[in-house]
Structure 1
Amino acid sequence: MEGSVEAPENREGSTTTYNEKETQPSEAGQEVETRTQDDKTGSVRDPYLVSWEGHDDTGCPRGLRKLTKWSITLIISAGAFNTTCASSIYTSTYEQIERDLNCSHELAIAGLSLYVMGLGIGPMFLAPLSEFYGRRPIYITSFACYILSLIPCAAANNITTLLVGRLLGGVAGSAFLSVAGGTVGDMFEKGELGLPMMVFTASPISGPAIGPLIGGFINQYTNWRWTWYVMIIWSVIQWALLCIVPETYNPVLLQRKAATIRRETGDDRYYAPYDRREDGILKTVLISCKRPFQLLAFEPMLLALCTFTALLLGILYIFFQAFAIIFRGTYGFTLSQLGLSFLGLFMGLTLGVLTDPLWRRAYDRLVERRDGQSIPEFRLVPGILGGVLVPIGIFWFGYTTYPSVHWIVPIIGSAVFGTGMLLVYSSVFAFLVDCYPLYAASAMAANSFTRSCFAAGFPLFSTQMYHTLGNQNATLILALLAVVMAPFPYIFFKHGEKLRKYSRYARS
């Protein structure tokens, strides 16, 4: 392999090659150096440091077959879809829960807010735990806990039991928002990462759009507990699929490779980079909890973009109450028909995914104009259009919700909003990972936390807002907030490179 050196004979008597220079960012934000060759003399400094011999090396995740990579991507994307679908499928149970558990409408809505808050809390400790144990154990363990959390929801005889189950379910299900994106990055090269990452990005956003559709049919024709029975059956099948997903986290795989070499050769000098790390689990978790807030405090670009994506998710969760008020109150929809009204959002999200080839070509042209050099700001191009489409879609939706206007018109407006939301999300996620490569996990955790705060808080006042201000004025406020945030992708596309020079965390 070009750019490699030969180490002493391995256990089979042949030679093992090691990469000339390879660095692996850790989840705690530290860079682990795995250089084995002196750049000036070409001499081997540490022949016992184990790394991949290239993508053809057995165990290297980027050497997996394309079909295997996509199968893994679709399985973890389905897991993200499942756990976020569970957030909104709950909104179809409000009427029956208020009656059967004798609680207020606001207390019933709290079950939605607590679940979403759990989705924001979980990544703080699940991401660093995946650094020590790998991604696969986190998937299997956390999703098993997620399934267990569905049981008290199905069997609840009081609202307290239901609310506790919802909070625990959100925490357990959040693994797919904090860890799964890393699995996709483990397997695909940077140049081919766009489409699989967009598919994964669409999954946790599509889940809330499909949840009311499924829940609407369940709760119109049977008892609300069947909502959870269906989720349990679905989740058990999903858990079985997760059990066949292999480990893809490079540092853990290299640890296993080094252990195998030591065992087969009897030579304890072979080691992987993570065998020499000094931070323990507690310190790593504390760093993981602290650094996202440091990034939000000291990185204006990250704060602005996280606030934009948080606002969009908050608006999406407001729509769960707004759609019920508008389509049941104005158009007389049944509960199942109300669920179908969310298909506009879903189709808009799907359309956003299908535009990926356009953005890939635009990205390639920008790189070509810069003589082959890529900068993080190029990732924001889809978000510029998305920032325009989002307020257009909200205005369209809000000002066509009159009885004299056919119901399909506001649904089309929600589709425009969905497309814009997907474009903003995919561009912001890609930008954060590219802009903060050593702190990508913390940047995504900061984004997840801010999004969850907005999504948990907005539904608590949405019903009162729409009843007090009316459908049009309430939606106008949301549209104006989106207008204020819309310029940020363009501003950072134009000036982000200059701003990064003053950053203590961003890639310079």
Structure 2
Amino acid sequence: DILTSCLRTCTSSIYTSTYTQITKEFECSRLVATIGLSLFIMGLGIGPMLLSPLSEFYGRRPIYLVSFTMFFVWIIPSAVAKNIQTMLIARFFDGISGSAFLSVAGGTVGDMFNREQLQFPMLIYTASPFVGPSIGPLFGGFINQYTTWRWTFYMLLIWSAGNLAAIALLVPETYHPVLLRDKAVRKRQETGDERWRAPMEKTNKSIPRTIAFSLLRPFQLLLLEPMVTNLCLFSAILLGILYLFFGAFPLVFQGNHGFTLSQTGLSFLGIFVGMVLGAATDPFWHKNYVRLIQQREEATGEVGGSEPEYRLPPAIAGAVLVPIGLFLFAWTTYASVHWIVPIIGSAVFGMGMSVQRRWGEGGMGAHAGRTCMYVVQTSLTVLERRTLLVFSGIFTFLVDAYPLYAASSLAANSFARSSFGGTY
């Protein structure tokens, strides 16, 4: 899941390094070429609306296999495109196909770990979609400086083929209702007793009705749950800012400091380092979470109780770091200032996004939590270390607060983030 999520988001950002070559070959403006990035991100936001509910019927593994196969297939038209129209269409459908691991994967994490164990796995899941956008320009810079833009997509094809093989061979089914259904089927085959029925086999839910309701639920959460609305809006703005960096870095480092394309790609390492530092703060936030639970036990006498809001302190810290990082970057973009200073600013921003995302999933009440989780799953990428703190908190809060509608809340979040990311 981690490698695949990185690949999906890397595919979105690595495209930005091809602009110079494809605008010349396809005789289009840079603005038209940028539409390929926007369409991919919007596809990432639309896809979870359909894929998340389907996973409730067929399980996680079939969705992974089908969607990733289509993701692999839609890279091919991008690699061999003869005009910009082909590129844009392929990018949109590639985004839809690649959205499964940004939505359904969050449900897989929830399937495998209980609430007490959720923190670190969710941090890793949260960080992986953010690492991808930061390493995309790094790889793309070297590829497009020393060879043709088509090798950008050839590299993605090779990476995708390896991931697809790993999914087919190593990824099991984790969705508990589907596992119970499969067990009931085996029991009926072994004993001939038709009374063996899993709970999901006793429901009368239809796939079209479920999909229609799942398309409605994210918007219900966004409009009717203030906490979901605020957290999703915050994460959406952060993602939009992240994609603004893809346009700002070439202007700052190539225009003001004379960087080459590959050196500009290396400048994104600041964001990557920031996210790593944000992830490294996990032990501190976990210790704080345990302390809050202990205080609650002493006050109420209830053992093992928790509140979704206990997941939010990292997001609060990240909310402070994000504007500091942006301020540092914005005020040091001049040629007279050493190039390392704006890179440090981008790293601070990335760290803040990381923390907010991870811990945002942990907390609010059951209904609010489900809503938040639905909204969070539909989002996409973040930039620096502070940003990582923000998203980590948001995602964890949503999962903890809305356990029954985790996939839906994450889908709503993904939709909001992708909408902002695609339009910025």
TM-score, reference length from structure 1: 0.75
Q: Does 1:400 align with 2:325?
A: no
TM-superposed CA distance for 1:437, in Å, is 2.0
The within-5 A match list for 1:371-382 is 371=297, 372=303, 373-382=305-314
Kindly provide the amino acid, as one letter, of the partner of residue 283 in structure 1. R
> Conserved in 1, the CA contact under 8 Å of 2:69 and 2:164?
yes
In the other structure, the counterpart of 2:103 is 178
Give 3-state SS (helix, strand or coil) of 1:122's partner: helix
Q: Deviation string for 1:28-68 (max 9, x for gaps)?
A: xxxxxxxxxxxxxxxxxxxxxxxxxxxxxxxxxxxxxxxxx
**2-structure distance, mates of 1:88, 1:277:** 42
TM-superposed CA distance for 1:390, in Å, is 0.2
The within-5 A match list for 1:25-40 is none
In the other structure, the counterpart of 1:80 is 5
Q: Deviation string for 1:377-410 (max 9, x for gaps)?
A: 0011100100000000000011111111110111
**2-structure distance, mates of 1:141, 1:352:** 33
**2-structure distance, mates of 1:292, 1:130:** 16
Q: Does 1:450 align with 2:416?
A: yes
**1-structure distance, mates of 2:41, 2:241:** 14
TM-superposed CA distance for 1:227, in Å, is 0.3
The unaligned stretches of length 5 or more in structure 2 are 298-302, 356-389
**1-structure distance, mates of 2:93, 2:48:** 13
Q: Does 1:120 align with 2:50?
A: no
The within-5 A match list for 1:73-472 is 76-243=1-168, 244-371=170-297, 372=303, 373-423=305-355, 424-458=390-424
In the other structure, the counterpart of 1:65 is none
Q: Which runs of 4+ in 1 moved over 2 A?
A: none
In the other structure, the counterpart of 2:360 is none
TM-superposed CA distance for 1:189, in Å, is 2.2
TM-superposed CA distance for 1:283, in Å, is 0.6
Give 3-state SS (helix, strand or coil) of 1:409's partner: helix
User: Which has the greater radius of gyration?
Assistant: 1
Give 3-state SS (helix, strand or coil) of 2:306's partner: coil
**2-structure distance, mates of 1:199, 1:206:** 10
Q: Deviation string for 1:180-205 (max 9, x for gaps)?
A: 01111111222111111101100001
**2-structure distance, mates of 1:443, 1:146:** 24
Kindly provide the amino acid, as one letter, of the partner of residue 48 in structure 2. P
**1-structure distance, mates of 2:114, 2:166:** 24
Q: Deviation string for 1:93-119 (max 9, x for gaps)?
A: 000000001111110000000000000
Kindly provide the amino acid, as one letter, of the partner of residue 286 in structure 1. A
Larger proportion of helix: 2
Give 3-state SS (helix, strand or coil) of 1:401's partner: coil
> Conserved in 1, the CA contact under 8 Å of 2:60 and 2:174?
yes
In the other structure, the counterpart of 1:31 is none
TM-superposed CA distance for 1:440, in Å, is 1.8
Give 3-state SS (helix, strand or coil) of 1:136's partner: helix
> Conserved in 1, the CA contact under 8 Å of 2:107 and 2:406?
no
TM-score, reference length from structure 2: 0.90
Kindly provide the amino acid, as one letter, of the partner of residue 440 in structure 1. A
**1-structure distance, mates of 2:113, 2:422:** 33
TM-superposed CA distance for 1:438, in Å, is 2.2
Give 3-state SS (helix, strand or coil) of 1:370's partner: helix
Q: Deviation string for 1:249-284 (max 9, x for gaps)?
A: 100000000111111111100111001111111011
The unaligned stretches of length 5 or more in structure 1 are 1-75, 459-508
TM-superposed CA distance for 1:213, in Å, is 0.2
**2-structure distance, mates of 1:84, 1:455:** 12
**2-structure distance, mates of 1:223, 1:405:** 33
Kindly provide the amino acid, as one letter, of the partner of residue 443 in structure 1. S
Give 3-state SS (helix, strand or coil) of 2:312's partner: helix
**1-structure distance, mates of 2:229, 2:113:** 28
**1-structure distance, mates of 2:117, 2:404:** 21
